[in-house]
Structure 1
Amino acid sequence: MPRVASIPAPVSLGEAFWVWLRIAALSFGGPAGQIAVMHRILVDEKRWIGEHRFLHALNYCMLLPGPEAQQLATYIGWLMHKTRGGLVAGGLFVLPGAIAIMALSWIYALYGHVGIISGLFFGLKCAVLAVVLQAVIRIGSRSLKNTVMRSLAAAAFVLIFFFNVPFPLIVLAAGVIGFFGGRAGVAAFQVGGGHGAASGKIVADADTLLGEVLPAHANPTIGQSLRQALVWLVLWLAPVAALFVLMGEGSVFTQIATFFSKMAVVTFGGAYAVLAYVAQQAVEHYHWLSAREMLDGLGMAETTPGPLIMVLQFVGFMGAFRNPGMLSPLLAGTLGGLLATWVTFIPCFLWIFLGAPFIERMRGNKALSGALSAITAAVVGVVLNLAIWFAIHTIFRVVQPFSAGPIHFDLPQLASVDLWALAISAVAIVAMFRMKVGIFTTLGGASAAGIALHFAGVLA
C-alpha cells in the first residue's frame, strides 16, 4: 500500500481543543456513532493517529469499565498531549451531554407530568425499545461468531433475567473464561471486539502525527504511577468518604455516591449492558424513580451528545429530587445529578492515566483479547435482558413479580397491554429495521406521535 506523502505538522493543545470540541458536539448515536466520528476526524481527516494504533486503543478501552468512547478520547488526548491532553479530550466529551441532561432533568422535574411533555416522553420511550433492540442485533452480529460465544450470551441472559444474578458477577465470570480460553489459544475466543472503524483506505501508523514510536510519557516511573493513582483516587473517593462522615449511610447523597462508584468499577461492555442492572437497582431497590421514568431518561441520553451512560446523571437527579432532605428539591436534584456524574467519570480518567502506559505495551495479548471477546458475548445476553425489561414496562401497565424457587422475573398482565404504546413501538421497530430510518428521525416521529395522542385526549 502506498505511503502518504507527508506527515501532519505538530498540533498544539490549543489547536487540539477545538478539534475535541467538534468531536464532542458531534458525539450522537451511542458508542458506535461516537467512535465512527472520532475515527473519521482523527484518523482519516487529521491523521493524528493511524488505523492500527486507533484500534489497539479501542480494543483495550473495551476491556476497561466505563464508556469506551469517552475513554478512547481520553487515551488519544493523553497520547498527544500527556495528562492535560487527556483531560481536555475526555472532559469535553462529557461536558455537552452533562449540560443537556441537566437542563432536561429540570424540565422533566418541573413539567414532566404536564400534558404535552408527558405525551412527548410517552412516544420517546416507546421508540427507545427499537433503539435497544438494534443494539442487541448490532453487538450480536459482531461478537456471536461461533457456538461458544452464542452459549455465553444465552447463559448470561438466563442468569440475569430468570435468576437475578448480579451483572458484575456475569461480566467477571465471562472475563475469566475468556482470559483462560484466550491464553490457552482456543480459536473461539480470538474473534476480536470493539465497534469497528470506518471503512475505506487504511491510514498507516507511520504516516500520522503520532507515528509508531512509544512516547516518552508512556514510560513512567513507579513514583509517577503511584502519584497518578493517589491523585485520582482522592478526587474520586474523598467526596464519598466525606458524605459518609457528614451525612451517614442513609442519606440519598451517600447512596448515590456509593452506588454509582460501584457502577464505575463494573460497567464493562458499554452503557446498554449496565443499564439493566442500574434500572433494577434504582427502580426496585432504592425507588429513586419508576421504570417508565428510567425509559424517559434513556430517551434523553439517546438524543443528546455524549456517552449514553450520562443517563446516570438523570437517575441521580431524580433520586435526590425525590429525597431532598432540608434542601429544595431542585437544588438537591442538581447536586445529586452532578454527584452521580462525578463518581461515574472520575474513575475513567484513573483507568486511562494509570493504565494507558501499560496498555500501549500490550498489543497482541491473546489472554486479554479472549477476555474481551467473552465479555462482549455475555453483554449481548445482558442487553437482551434490558430490551425485554424495557418492553414489559413500556407496553404493559401492570407488571407483577413472579417467583418459583430460585427463579424470579417480572411477569406482565396481558390484559393490561397499552395498545398505543405497542403500536408506536412496532412502528419504530419497522422504521429502523425495515425502512432504515435514522435514530433521530425515529425518535422525533415517535415523540410527535405521543404529542398528537395527548392532543387527541387518548393519553390519561
Structure 2
Amino acid sequence: MDATPPRPTPSFGEATRTFAKIGLLSFGGPAGQIALMHKILVDEKRWLDEPRFLHALNYCMLLPGPEAMQLATYSGWLMHGVRGGLVAGLLFVLPGALVITALSAIYLTVGHVTLVQGLLFGLKAAVLAVVLEALIKVSRRALKNGSMIVLAIAAFVAIAFLKLPFPLIVLVAAAIGALLHFAGLAPAGARAADQADLVYAMPEWTKPSARRFFTTLSIWLAVWFVPLAVMWLVLGPAHVFTAEATFFSKMAAVTFGGAYAVLAYVAQQAVEVHGWLKPDEMLTGLGLAETTPGPLILVLVFVGFLGGARLSALAPLSGGIAGAAVTLWFTFVPCFLWIFVGAPYVETVRNVRWLASALAAVTAAVVGIIANLAVWFALHVLFGTVGETACGPFVLPVLDFGSVDWVAAGIAAGAGLALIRFKANMIVVLAVSALAGMAWQLA
C-alpha cells in the first residue's frame, strides 16, 4: 500500500486565523458554507482528507442544529481537541451573530429606510446565486454513481413535493445505503479503506474514553442548563428572557433538517403564543439571516432581539441585545455538546464498511434536501406570490408569473455568471449586488 505524504498539522494560531476567515466568508446557507470549508480545509490547506471530511459531514447532518457550524466545530476538534472545536465553532457563529444583532437594531429603529431595504434586496438576490453555485459543487462531490443520483432525486421529491419529514428521509436513505453495501453496489469511496488511518496515528482525544465521555457530558449539560435554572429562579418562568431560553433550548434539540424545517413552527409560536414578532416580521428576519455570514438559524437571534426589545423592562436596544445574547447561548451551546460527546465514537466507526455506505447514502440524500432549499429560496426571491396546491399525494407550487421580480432575477443572474463562469470573489459580488439593490430602490 502506497503511503501518501503526511498532511501538515496547523498550529493553533494558524487554525484560528483560518476558521476566522471561514466565519467571515460563510455566506450562502449550509450548501455554500460546506463548500467553502471543503475548499479551504481539504483542497487548499489539506488539513483534512476527503473521507474524514465527508464522514464528519454525515454525522453533523444527523444532528439537530446547524450542520455547517457543527462541521466547523468537528473539524477544529480533530485538529486541536476541545479548544480547537470551541474556537472553530465560535468563530463560525459570532461574526454573523454580531451582524444580525446590528441589523436587528437598525430594523427596530430605521427599518423602513429606503437604502436599508435596497441593500437587503440586492444581497438576497445575490445569495441565490451563491446557493446554486454551492449546490453544483456539493453534487459533484457526493453523487459518485447512479444509485447516489437516484437517491438525491428521490430525497428532493420526498421533501419538496410529498412534504415528508427530514428525519424520515435520512433514516430511509441510511437503510438503502446499507442494503447497497450488502448488494455490492456501494459507492467506491464507501468501500475503499481509508489509507490515512493506516499511515497516521490519530490524536489521543479522538479515541473513546468513558471518563472523558462523562466529564464532557457533565460540563456541557451544566453550561446549558445551569443558566436556564438560574433564570427560572431569579426572573420567573413568565419573563421574556426565561421564555426565550426555554423555547430555544427546545428548538436546539429538535431542529433536524436545519432552519427551514422549523421556521413555520418558530414563527407561529413567536407571533401567536409569545407575541415577540408581528406576523410579517419572520420573513424580514429570514432575509437578514440569508444575507449575513454564519448559519441560517441565526434568524432566531432576530426573533430573540425583538422579543427582548419589546417585552423586557429594559430600554429597547438594551433589551434587544440581551434577548439576542440569550437566544444565541441556548441555541448554540447544545451544538458543542453533540460534537464533543459524540465525535470520538463517530471516529471509531469510520472503517465499518456498511455504515460508511449508509452515511454516503445520507450525503446523497442531503444533496436533494439542499436542492429543495435552493428551489424554495429561488421561488421566494424571484416571485412575489407563491402558493401551493394538492395533486394526489403531491403538493406542488403555484406560481404567479405576473409577480416575477425581474430586477431580482437580473441581479441573481449577474451574480451567478460572475461566480460560476468567471470565478469572481464572492464578497465583491455580494457588495456589487447590494449597491445595485440600493440603486434600484432609490430609482
Establish whether TM, by shorter chain, passes 0.5.
Answer: yes
- CA 1:415 to 1:239, structure 2 compared with 1: closer, same or farther past 3 Å? farther
Q: Shift of residue 437 of structure 1?
A: 2.8
SS of residue paired to 1:247:
coil
| Counterpart residue number, 2:18 | 23
- CA 1:233 to 1:368, structure 2 compared with 1: closer, same or farther past 3 Å? farther
| Counterpart residue number, 2:121 | 122
Q: Shift of residue 74 of structure 1?
A: 4.0
The one-letter amino acid of 1:59's match is H
Work out the CA distance in 2 between the residues paired with 1:78 and 1:385. Answer: 30
| Counterpart residue number, 1:247 | 237
Residue 59 (str. 1) matches residue 52 (str. 2): no
Work out the CA distance in 1 between the residues paired with 2:355 and 2:291. Answer: 34
Residue 382 (str. 1) matches residue 382 (str. 2): no
- CA 1:247 to 1:331, structure 2 compared with 1: closer, same or farther past 3 Å? farther
Residue 32 (str. 1) matches residue 30 (str. 2): no
Task: List aligned pairs for 1:59-458, cutoff 5 A.
Answer: 59-64=55-60, 65=63, 70-71=69-70, 74-75=73-74, 77-78=76-77, 81-182=80-181, 184=182, 186-191=184-189, 212-219=200-207, 221-238=209-226, 246-247=236-237, 251-263=243-255, 266-267=256-257, 274-283=258-267, 286=270, 289-291=281-283, 293-301=285-293, 308-309=294-295, 311-318=296-303, 320-321=305-306, 324-327=310-313, 328-404=315-391, 406-456=393-443
Q: Shift of residue 119 of structure 1?
A: 0.6
Work out the CA distance in 2 between the residues paired with 1:373 and 1:249. Answer: 45
- CA 1:326 to 1:295, structure 2 compared with 1: closer, same or farther past 3 Å? closer
Contact 1:122 1:447 in 2 (8 A): yes
Q: Shift of residue 391 of structure 1?
A: 1.9
Work out the CA distance in 2 between the residues paired with 1:400 and 1:3. Answer: 54
Q: Shift of residue 105 of structure 1?
A: 3.1
Work out the CA distance in 2 between the residues paired with 1:36 and 1:125. Answer: 23
The one-letter amino acid of 2:383's match is F
SS of residue paired to 1:187:
coil
Work out the CA distance in 1 between the residues paired with 2:75 and 2:370. Answer: 28
Work out the CA distance in 2 between the residues paired with 1:429 and 1:152. Answer: 27
Work out the CA distance in 2 between the residues paired with 1:158 and 1:79. Answer: 35
Contact 1:23 1:93 in 2 (8 A): no
SS of residue paired to 1:411:
strand
Work out the CA distance in 2 between the residues paired with 1:240 and 1:190. Answer: 47
- CA 1:319 to 1:175, structure 2 compared with 1: closer, same or farther past 3 Å? farther
| Counterpart residue number, 1:46 | none
Contact 2:285 2:303 in 1 (8 A): no
User: Post-superposition, which runs of at least 4 consecutive aligned residues in structure 1 deviate over 6 A?
Assistant: 1-4, 203-206, 241-245
Q: Shift of residue 298 of structure 1?
A: 0.8
The one-letter amino acid of 1:187's match is L
Q: Shift of residue 249 of structure 1?
A: 11
- CA 1:122 to 1:86, structure 2 compared with 1: closer, same or farther past 3 Å? closer
Contact 2:153 2:368 in 1 (8 A): yes
Contact 2:288 2:299 in 1 (8 A): no
Gapped runs of 5+ residues in structure 1?
44-48, 194-202, 268-273, 302-307
Contact 1:279 1:291 in 2 (8 A): no
SS of residue paired to 2:157:
helix
Q: Shift of residue 117 of structure 1?
A: 0.8
- CA 1:188 to 1:58, structure 2 compared with 1: closer, same or farther past 3 Å? closer
Q: Shift of residue 123 of structure 1?
A: 0.8
The one-letter amino acid of 1:341's match is L
Residue by residue over 1:295-327, the C-alpha shift from the partner in whole angstroms, topping out at 9 and shown as x without a partner, is: 3321112xxxxxx31x32233323550573234
Gapped runs of 5+ residues in structure 2?
27-32, 272-276
Contact 2:384 2:404 in 1 (8 A): yes
User: What is the alpha-carbon root mean square deviation over aligned residues?
Assistant: 3.7
Work out the CA distance in 2 between the residues paired with 1:427 and 1:212. Answer: 45
- Percent sequence identity is 36
Q: Shift of residue 114 of structure 1?
A: 0.7
SS of residue paired to 1:363:
coil
Range 276-285 or range 19-28, more displaced = 276-285
* Aligned residue-pair number: 414
Q: Shift of residue 378 of structure 1?
A: 1.4
Q: Shift of residue 110 of structure 1?
A: 3.0
- CA 1:401 to 1:241, structure 2 compared with 1: closer, same or farther past 3 Å? farther
- CA 1:89 to 1:365, structure 2 compared with 1: closer, same or farther past 3 Å? same
TM-score scaled to structure 2, two decimals? 0.78
